[in-house]
Amino acid sequence: MAPHAEDEPTGTSSNGHTVPVNSGEAPLEPGVKASIAQGKMIEFPRAPKFTDKHEERDYLKGRLAAAFRIFGKYGFDEGVAGHITLRDPVEKDCFWVNPFGQAFSLMKKSDLILVNHSGQVIGGGENRLLNTAAYMIHSAIHKARPDVLCAAHSHSIYGRTWCSLGRKIDTLTQDSCAFHDDHVLYESFNGVVLAEKEGKDIAACLGNKKAALLQNHGLLTVGTSIEETIFWFVSLEKCCQSQLLAEAAAGSRGEKPISIGKEEAAYTYKTVGSPMAGWFSAKPLFDVIYKETGGEYLQ
C-alpha cells in the first residue's frame, strides 16, 4: 500500500519550507502538485549589492576577468582581436578593458587596465597597451549609454560569417526571441575602427538595443551587467550558427526556415530577453569557469 502524504519523507527547501523529497515532481516543472507549489516560489540568486564602491570595483574586475576566460573557452579569441569593457563604479567616466595582446584564456583581474574617456591608461596591470579600436568603439558606447555597464565585441566565427550577409537575424527559435526587435545591423565597414567618428556611428546605430551586427566584422553586445552582456554574446553567436545551418538545410530543398510570429516572439522576449534573464542565464557559465580554473583569474 502506498504511504499517506503525511508519511512521505520530507526535506527543507532553500526558503525554509518542508517539501516531499520522493514525490517525483520538482518545483517549477509541469505536473507539480498544487499543495507543494502554492506559496513556494523559489528565490532566484541575484548579483551582490555593495555600499563600498571600491569593493564593488574589485568584485566586478573579477567577473570581467572571468568573462575573458569564458570567451577564450568558447573560441571567441583570435590573435589580438576582441575586447570587453566594464564601466568603473568609482570613476564612472572610465572603463576597464583587456590589455592589447593579452590572451583571453590567461586573463587575470590584475591584468586589466583602466582607461579614461580621453584614451589614457591611468591604472591597471603591467601591460598598458590599449587597443585603439577597443577605445574608439567602447568609449563611444559608454558615453552614449549610461545604462550600459559592460560591452563586448570579438571576431567569433559564426557571428562574423553571418555579418557578411548584411542582414539582421530572423526569429527562428525560442533563444533568438531574446533579440526580437532588440538588435541592429550596422551597414558599414571602413576597416579597423581607428577613427572617433566610426565609434560614434556604431554607438548611434546601436541606439537602445542590446546587440549590433557589425557588417563584415562581427558581433557586439551590451548589458546592465557583465553576466548579461556575456550571455547575449554567447547566445547571439549560437543564433547566427543556428540560422546558417537552418538556411543551408532548408535551401537544399528549395525551402525557407519557419519564423516565429511577431506576437509570439514579443511575448517570449519578455521571458528570455530581459536583463535578469540574461544575468541568470550566464550564471552557469561563470560557475563552470570558476570550477575549471580554480578561481585563478581572481589574482
Domain coordinates in residue numbering, the chain? 53-298
CB 199 within 8 A of CB 136: yes
pLDDT tens digits, 88-144: 999 999 999 999 999 999 999 999 999 998 999 999 999 999 999 889 999 999 999
Cα separation, 14 vs 292, in Å, equals 26
Give the number of other Cβ atoms within 10 Å of residue 289's Cβ: 20
Phi-psi region of 200 (alpha: psi -120 to 50; beta: other; left: phi over 0): alpha
C-alpha cell of 182? 532588440
What pLDDT, on the 0 to 100 scale, is given for residue 277? 96
pLDDT class for 42, splitting at 50, 70, 90?
low
Residue (of 84, 90, 139) closest to 112 by Cα position:
84
Cα separation, 149 vs 152, in Å, equals 11
DSSP H or E segment with residue 105: none
Classify residue 259 by its DSSP letter.
Answer: P
pLDDT tens digits, 44-98: 788 999 999 999 999 999 999 999 999 999 999 999 999 999 999 999 999 999 9
Q: What percent of the chain has pLDDT over 70?
A: 85
Is the pLDDT score of 18 beyond 50?
no
Look up cell 530572423; give the residue. Answer: 170
pTM: 0.85
Give the number of other Cβ atoms within 10 Å of residue 45's Cβ: 10
Cα separation, 124 vs 95, in Å, equals 11
pLDDT tens digits, 191-226: 767 678 899 999 999 999 999 999 999 999 999 999
CB 153 within 8 A of CB 81: no
What is the CATH architecture assignment of 53-298?
3-Layer(aba) Sandwich (3.40)
* Residue, of 146 and 30, whose pLDDT is higher: 146
Is the pLDDT score of 28 beyond 60?
no
Rounded mean pLDDT of 33-44?
57
27 Cβ contact list (under 8 Å, min separation 6):
13, 19, 36, 37, 40, 42
Q: What is the mean pLDDT of the chain?
A: 88
- CA triple 56-61-63, angle to 5 deg: 95
CB pairs under 8 A, 24+ apart, for 241-244? 241/158, 242/172, 242/173, 242/175, 242/176, 243/162, 243/169, 243/170, 243/172, 243/176, 244/158, 244/161, 244/162
Look up cell 570613476; give the residue. Answer: 91
Cα separation, 284 vs 279, in Å, equals 10
Residue (of 276, 298, 220, 293) closest to 70 by Cα position:
293
